[in-house]
Structures are given as structure tokens and as C-alpha cells.
Chain A
């Protein structure tokens, strides 16, 4: 049990902190006041830390009986007006998929943290992985789009958790934070800004009188303003295909067409505002490395080493995994001779890179187990492709 000072305030300042705890503090900084979760390695520390911190802010921490209950409770709390979050790993993430679909369908803002570990199934609970990245995009049944961010450092565990809340509130989606066991368990310097320097976004509120409120009528940005329970709007929300009033329309092709395409377009059409990447030495690169999460740390080192050896390498670090930065990846592909994609899985984001890269050769470097790729391993691959 981590012992933190019992302060009812944000931990503004510099700290030497663990990634999971940074994520928890990021949630609190974002205004999250409801956490429902279930213990699972390597995300348990988020729950433990929030069980201590949430009550200090008058927020709710509840340990539910399973991950399905956790995500359901998060949706309930969100509709009741609190920013809500859950944290899990692969097995729990799989259990949550049905209700992630419910979150998408009912446009419930919430944040789901998946600290990826070795899979599939029970896998390797204490070792890292990047095997859930496609699942974050396609895990629930039905067609939808949502956002997923991949932190590479303890600072990003804080910053991107906050960003995830902002995205969830802006687009009324379940936003995902895809950490991995290393980023979650390592200790690094974290700087928490003072509250007035934090950018916090809250969902749009209805701007019409109660009688005129149409709960799922979108604004121009394709996102409907959201009322919460208890405010007198008397609205109905359902996981069934529905019309703008929220009423089930189970026999209408038109309703299905309209609703599902809007739910997808909500993210697609707003891509440019959501996508974030970090580019290092890409301007004149001949070989680009596309990486994310903990692997991007090794990739950065590899790219620097390559430059020392005279190879013009550059790094495109994906911060948003979804929506995938397709346009930027395509531009980079046109410019370089080859792309190297190291991942701790058997080939997931590389499929997206290949799709964007078209004719440009893409080399995939897989590594599974306790360590991410070493910088030398990636350097070797860069050299092979330069």
C-alpha cells in the first residue's frame, strides 16, 4: 500500500512516482470522482491508490465484483454526472467489451485504462505486452469508433489520462488509455502542474429548455449535448438502436444507418483535432521507425544511435493509437525508403502502418516477453533497411 500524504489537493510539484499512481493522480486532476474497478495485475495499484485518494476529494471508490460490473457502474456514474473511470488489464478488458459497446451506443463519456500484459488469456500477468491495441479499436461487436492513447512515460501516464478524460467529454465516447506493465510499474520524474494550469474539458450541456431537449440530436460536430440524471430532463437512453429521442427503433433501417454512421463519423470527421504524434528527426529521414508505448523509448535511442552512425533515421511516435494517424503515416512513407515497426506483439499496429505506407516496404520487429526491444535490436533492423 503506497503511503501518500493525506492531502485533499492535487500533488502539484515534482515527484518520483510510479506510472500507475501517476495515472491515478491524472484522473483526479482531470476531475474524476468515481472509480469502479477490480484488482488485476498490473493495474491494481491504480485501484489501491484511488481507494485512498478518491474519498479525500469526496469521490467514490468502489471495488465491484467483476470487471463487467465495474464498467457498468462507471457508465451509471457518468450518466449521474460524475467523471468516471476504471482500470484493468487484458482479461478484464475482454470482459468489458460488451459494455464498452453500450458506452459507445449511449454516448457515455468515461475512461478505461488497460495496462497491457502478456496475453492471450491469463498470459503473463507481471510482464509487459502490446497485444491489446487492435482490441481497443475492434473489441466490442458492432461498428463504432473510439479513441485510444499510448503513454510512453510516467509523465504521460499523468498527462494522457487527463487528455483521455478531455477526449471522452468532448466526443462522448469511452476513451482508452493503453499503458503497458513497464510504463505502469516504473518510477520516473513526474511534474504535476498547479490546478489553474490544467486544461479540463467538460461535456456540452443542453442549451434548450427541458421540453425541447432531444437527447441524441447532434450538434454540428456530431456530438449531442448531454443532460444527466436528476436534472429534470426525463430522457431515455438505451443500448438498442434508437432515434434522436432515444426511443428504440429496432425495425428501422434508416435509424440504424443514421445512428451507426454518426457514431463512427463522430471520431472520423474530428480526427484532425484528436490525433497526436511526436516526431523526432523525421524531416530528412530515409528510414522511419513507427513505435508507441515503452517500445518508443528504445526506438528513440536506436534512432539517435543510427544518426551517430550516419544513417538518417527518424521516429514517428504514436500518441493516439486510435484514430490511427493515417495521413501522417502516409506522408512519412512517401518520404522514406523503408519503415521499421517494432511492437511487443505478433503484428498489430504494423497492419495499419502497412495500409498507410502502400508501396513503401515495412519491416516488422516482434518481441514478446519481459523486455521491450533493446535499442541495439531496433538499430540492427534500421541498418538492415537503410
Chain B
């Protein structure tokens, strides 16, 4: 065994911001790991990559990647990223944010960006609660879960994020857990090479809060749940992609081609300018 201090992916991380603030066993670290691993595989030009994140534990991701990055107000990462992508379509814009940020306060921006097919890539770390603020319920909290704002058990039905994304018009939709590290990395690589609105949901352990309140005290117990319950059903109906104690349906659900907003806009500009010259 040789003890070295330089991890091979460390060039993708801001050394002076490490170690990150995430709890032991937090899935956010795995999401970050898979993301930078995918960047490494693709030999992504870091000068052209912009990472945008919202508010939440996962929102700190933008501060950790060694790229141009922006940490927006709660829920507005996608709207901000829309501005970035349209202003400079050469940039690769990736949004890394959480279930609450993207689907509660940010829900409206998500569905519209998906509808318009803006070429931004969204990675959602879904840990079933609002971790940063102490563990409140969110739009993906399963029924009957205990959180700090549902002490008697949650009575709200959660979103099925892949169904929502597919219905809104995303051209690539996938769901993995933080246990499916290789397939997640491959999905990210695939997504980065597509043009249009892409979405990957990553089911992620929040052992410190969500897990603790819901009888999974350690990250290991949550990961064991993922291991036991996950079933890969790629290209099955996303409406039926459930997440329960017994079954977590993962896989790629949508992989289509559709002209992105930026492409259409620039085609229009070309048409307009042709006409004005005539």
C-alpha cells in the first residue's frame, strides 16, 4: 500500500475548498465523483464548462468544481443557466441541484426549460428531503416518511421525477442511485454528448437526517436498500417508475433527438438576416 495525497480526479476540484462540507456517507460526494469521472472520460474542455447550482447541500457542488461556476438563489439555477446557454451556446452548461431546489421552488423553471428544450444538462440529487435546512419534507418525500415538518408521517404524494421530466419534454431522462456508480457515470457521459435538455435523477442517501428519521441510520443501510430494491428497467414507462421500500425502478427512460432551442433560435436569426439582405 502506498500512501499518496493526489487523487487522479483532483484536478477537477478546487483544492482550497476541500474537504467538502458533506456528511459521512452523503450521496452528494458520489454524485460529484461520478460527474468529474465522466468529465475525465470525455476529456471535457474545462474552459467551456459552466457548473450552475441552486441552494441546498448539493448546491455547494458549484463551489467544488474547478470550472466557471455559479451558485444561484433557491430554485433559479435552471433559469440562470438558460441565460448562460443562450448567450453563449458554445458553453456546456450543467446544473447540479437537489430535489427541493429543482422541483419545489424551481419546478416552474424546470418544466419550461424542458419544454423549450434548452440545451442544459440537469443532475438532480434526490435525497427525499431538504437536507441543508435540517430535514424538512420536499416534493419527493415518500408517503408516510417522517421529516421535521411531517412528524406524523408525510401525507403528500411525491413527484415521479422521471415521469415529470419525460412529460415536460426532456430528450434524455435517466434515474440511477448512488450505488450504480458506473451506469451513472456512463449516463452522464451520454448526456454530455447530447444537444438539448437532459435530466438525470440520482437517488442519494442523506443518512444524517432523512435516513436517521426513517429507520436507516447509516449510509450503509440506505445503500443496502438501493442494492436490494433497485431494478433496472430501461425504456420502460416512466409513469410506472416507482420508488418504494421494495422496488426502485432505475434505468434510462427517454433518449430521443429533438432540435434544441438554441439551434432553432440561431436558424431563425439566419433566416431573418437572409431576408434583410435580399
Tell me the bound Cα distance from A235 to B70 in angstroms.
Answer: 8
Of residues A55, A73, A77, A239, which shows the largest number of chain B Cβ atoms within 10 Å of its Cβ? A73
Q: Which of B68, B79, B112, B276 contacts A235 (CB 8 A)?
A: B68
Contact A234 B86, CB 8 Å, known A6-B275, A56-B273, A76-B81: no
Tell me the bound Cα distance from A239 to B17 in angstroms.
Answer: 17
- A252 in the interface, Cβ–Cβ < 8 Å? no
A60 and B71 contacting across the interface, CB-CB below 8 Å = no
A56 and B70 contacting across the interface, CB-CB below 8 Å = no
B76 and A84 contacting across the interface, CB-CB below 8 Å = no
A236 and B83 contacting across the interface, CB-CB below 8 Å = no
Output the nearest chain A residue to B91 by Cβ-Cβ distance: A230
- B218 in the interface, Cβ–Cβ < 8 Å? no
User: In the complex, what residues of A have CB within 8 A of residue B76's CB?
Assistant: 68-69, 72, 99, 102
CB distance from B193 to the nearest CB of A (A): 19
Contact A80 B276, CB 8 Å, known A65-B112, A234-B46: no
Tell me the bound Cα distance from A234 to B83 in angstroms.
Answer: 18
- A188 in the interface, Cβ–Cβ < 8 Å? no
Tell me the bound Cα distance from A58 to B88 in angstroms.
Answer: 12
Of residues B16, B68, B80, B83, which shows the largest number of chain A Cβ atoms within 10 Å of its Cβ? B83
B82 and A73 contacting across the interface, CB-CB below 8 Å = yes
Tell me the bound Cα distance from A68 to B72 in angstroms.
Answer: 12
- B63 in the interface, Cβ–Cβ < 8 Å? yes
Output the nearest chain A residue to B118 by Cβ-Cβ distance: A62
Q: Which of B80, B85, B108 contacts A66 (CB 8 A)?
A: B108
- A273 in the interface, Cβ–Cβ < 8 Å? no
User: In the complex, what residues of A have CB within 8 A of residue B276's CB?
Assistant: 6-8, 56
Contact A230 B47, CB 8 Å, known A76-B84, A236-B71: yes
- Interface size on A, as a range, is 35 or more
Tell me the bound Cα distance from A102 to B14 in angstroms.
Answer: 23
Contact A247 B16, CB 8 Å, known A65-B108, A77-B87, A80-B88: yes
B-contact 0/1 string along A316-347, CB 8 Å cutoff: 00000000000000000000000000000000
- A171 in the interface, Cβ–Cβ < 8 Å? no
Contact A237 B70, CB 8 Å, known A60-B86, A77-B86, A247-B16: yes
Tell me the bound Cα distance from A74 to B76 in angstroms.
Answer: 12
- B69 in the interface, Cβ–Cβ < 8 Å? yes
A76 and B80 contacting across the interface, CB-CB below 8 Å = yes
CB distance from A103 to the nearest CB of B (A): 10
Contact A73 B83, CB 8 Å, known A7-B276, A68-B76, A247-B17: yes
- B214 in the interface, Cβ–Cβ < 8 Å? no
B83 and A76 contacting across the interface, CB-CB below 8 Å = yes
B-contact 0/1 string along A1-24, CB 8 Å cutoff: 000001110000000000000000
CB distance from A13 to the nearest CB of B (A): 18
CB distance from A344 to the nearest CB of B (A): 32
B-contact 0/1 string along A79-116, CB 8 Å cutoff: 11110100000000000001101100010000000000
Chain A binder among B136-144, B158-166, B251-259, B264-272: B264-272
B79 and A68 contacting across the interface, CB-CB below 8 Å = yes
B71 and A237 contacting across the interface, CB-CB below 8 Å = yes
B87 and A239 contacting across the interface, CB-CB below 8 Å = no
Q: Which of B63, B68, B86, B275 contacts A229 (CB 8 A)?
A: B68
A64 and B87 contacting across the interface, CB-CB below 8 Å = no
- A31 in the interface, Cβ–Cβ < 8 Å? no
User: In the complex, what residues of B have CB within 8 A of residue A233's CB?
Assistant: 68
State which residues 61-113 of B face A: CB under 8 Å.
Answer: 62-63, 66-73, 76, 79-88, 90-91, 108-109, 112
State which residues 212-245 of A face B: CB under 8 Å.
Answer: 229-240, 245
B91 and A76 contacting across the interface, CB-CB below 8 Å = no
Contact A55 B269, CB 8 Å, known A72-B76, A229-B50, A238-B63: yes
- A75 in the interface, Cβ–Cβ < 8 Å? yes
- B247 in the interface, Cβ–Cβ < 8 Å? no
A-contact 0/1 string along B203-219, CB 8 Å cutoff: 00000000000000000
A72 and B269 contacting across the interface, CB-CB below 8 Å = no
Tell me the bound Cα distance from A101 to B74 in angstroms.
Answer: 12
- B182 in the interface, Cβ–Cβ < 8 Å? no
A-contact 0/1 string along B1-32, CB 8 Å cutoff: 00000000000001011000000000000000
A60 and B265 contacting across the interface, CB-CB below 8 Å = yes
CB distance from A296 to the nearest CB of B (A): 35
Q: Which of A62, A102, A232 contacts B82 (CB 8 A)?
A: A62
B63 and A76 contacting across the interface, CB-CB below 8 Å = no
User: In the complex, what residues of A have CB within 8 A of residue B88's CB?
Assistant: 80-82, 229-230
User: In the complex, what residues of B have CB within 8 A of residue A101's CB?
Assistant: 73
Q: Can you show 28 pairs from A to B with CB atoms below 8 A apart? A: A6-B275, A6-B276, A34-B86, A58-B273, A64-B112, A69-B108, A72-B73, A72-B109, A73-B86, A74-B83, A75-B80, A76-B82, A77-B84, A77-B86, A99-B73, A102-B73, A106-B70, A233-B68, A234-B46, A234-B47, A234-B67, A234-B68, A235-B69, A236-B14, A236-B68, A236-B71, A237-B69, A248-B63
